Amino acid sequence: MPVSPTLTVVIVAKNEARNIGECVHSASFADSVLVLDSGSTDGTPALAEHAGARVVHTDWPGYGLQVARGFSLATTDWVLSLDADERITDTLRAQVQEAIRSGAHDGYRIPRMSEFCGKYIRHSGWRPDHTLRLGRRALSGFTDHFLHAHMTVDGSIGELEASLVHYSYPDINDVLEKLNRYSSGHARDMQARGKSASVHRAVLAGLFAFVRTYFFRLGLLDGQHGLMLAIYNAEYTYYKYIKLMFLQSPARRPEFPA
């Protein structure tokens, strides 16, 4: 009798007490749920263990390297990368189980349905947002970008139809916190790739980000939340270039004029 393929869901987390229980519960169909915690102080590890996960305490080498570390600790046939603010629906669970059972492909992209301050965004470049998350463990890896790292699979790639639910920006405080953190991380990635920046480039890139989100990607159909998201993307783009500019030429305290 053939043995069913096995699956580990890998979650990286720090101070995700509000999310981790529901996240782990949504992944409980897997043979193993592995949470890599990098120094939480809000009880995240205990909540993850209570929900049924195995918790590994680690440092923080960056998102991609952390997920890759989780993949290396897994011993199952397949791995699925899941963020703490994401949930696997019942429909998606069934499709994941069928995908690994059939073995038709070596990896699968999964669409996401993401929310922004209490509204699911259906345009603005956020939908369907296919992202590679499921793969055969022996063929799967992650890039080492500090912020926008992504999964890789050395083989054929298919697509699932059901969506991950992504509680990406639950409130305006989270928007502002991520604006600062993500723009800093992206600036570091751009610096590593040898990109350059200036104030003029930052302004023009920010304006184009607004136009692209609100008009080209039909953010206007998302109502006031689409407008808010377009402004966020403009600010995010502006600040990542400004931060890159200062990384390339650190600001120095000027001499006090006589």
pLDDT tens sequence across 159-210: 999 999 999 999 999 999 999 999 999 999 999 999 999 999 999 999 999 9
pLDDT band at 59 (very low <50, low <70, confident <90, very high): very high
Q: What is the pLDDT of residues 111-157, one digit of tens each?
A: 999 999 999 999 999 999 999 999 999 999 999 877 778 999 999 99
Q: What is the pLDDT of residues 226-255, one digit of tens each?
A: 999 999 999 999 999 999 999 998 776 777
CA atoms within 13 A on the CB side of 232: 22
Q: Are 232 and 221 found together in one domain?
A: yes
Is the residue at 257 inside a domain? no
Q: Are 75 and 155 found together in one domain?
A: yes
Query: How many domains are there within the chain?
Result: 2
Q: Are 156 and 232 found together in one domain?
A: no
Domain residue limits at 218: 171-248
Q: What is the model's pTM?
A: 0.91
Is the residue at 158 inside a domain? yes
In Å, how far are 5, 166, 213, 227, 231 from 122, measured between CA atoms? 34, 12, 12, 13, 17
Domain stop point among 168, 199, 217: 168
Residue 110: phi and psi, rounded to 5, are -125, 130
Domain stop point among 125, 143, 168: 168
